[in-house]
Structure 1
Amino acid sequence: MPIQPVGDAAVEGTIELKEAYADGLKDLDGFTHCIVLYHFHVSDDTAPLEVEPFLDDEQRGIFATRAPQRPNPIGLSVVGIESIKEEMVTVTGIDVVDQTPLLDIKPFVPEFDVPSDADTGWLTASESTIRSKQADERFL
């Protein structure tokens, strides 16, 4: 599993909704990407407020990291949409554990979701290695 979706954009996965929610996928096939919100169901439920994140060897505040151990264990990924058939969405760039409970799917809209003046704080120093890093034992 890549540590972030950009770690391996070719990773393919399937999002399976309950049949009762299948109609909610109508028109999502017109988008190339979607935002997936999910519950970190295998993460430790005692999240420290400071962690040593991947790409760094310094303690950082949990809200300034993407660490999966969180006070409220909710994850977010932007994934590519490959296909939608009934209640199944095939996606690429997924970075979640199998059987992860899905909370929501939203269309990714660059005009809404990508601020033109964003700064990446302490991560700026590590940008060149973000795409090559894999999860380690801290994130399992």
Structure 2
Amino acid sequence: MKPSASLHFQIGGDNLSNGYSLVVKPFLDDRHRGVFSTRAPKRPNSIGISIVKLVGISGNILHIEDVDIVDGTPLLDIKPFVPEFDMRRADKIGWFADKSRDVKDTRADERFK
């Protein structure tokens, strides 16, 4: 892998699956919704994905940026990010459509601690 490539991380662990609810109040919203229509961290299944940017390699250590993974989360697998396979155009994004403009200027709330 060359630096500047993007990687697809598969992550997991019970740290965020304990105490989940099937109905949650999502970040950037004031209505309760089903957990599977949100990106809430506490979920019935503790496996997740993240896309990160590879900026360097030192021996067996990967240096990455743009990480949205909670510290201490186990890494299960690493795959190359291939836009032709991994990017899909979304025609609709449901309830989040009118909230998406706020994403770049807003940080996560306390649920990730």
| TM-score category (smaller protein) | 0.7 to 0.9
Cα gap change, 1:116 to 1:96, in 2 (>3 Å):
closer
Residues 1:112 and 2:85 aligned together = yes
Cα gap change, 1:101 to 1:108, in 2 (>3 Å):
same
* 1:31–1:108 contact (8 Å) kept in structure 2: no
TM-score scaled by length of structure 1: 0.72
Selected match of 2:26 from 50, 53, 61: 53
Q: Which residue of 2 aligns with 1:122?
A: 95
* 1:32–1:81 contact (8 Å) kept in structure 2: yes
Identity percentage over the alignment?
Answer: 41
- Greater relative contact order structure (CA < 8 Å, 6+ sep): 1
Point out 4+ residue stretches in structure 1 off by more than 6 angstroms. none
Residues matched between the structures, number: 113
User: Quick one: distance in 1 between partners of 2:61 and 2:3?
Assistant: 15
TM-score scaled by length of structure 2: 0.87
Post-superposition offset of 1:44: 5.0
Please tell me the residue identity of whatever aligns with 1:70.
R
Residues 1:95 and 2:68 aligned together = yes
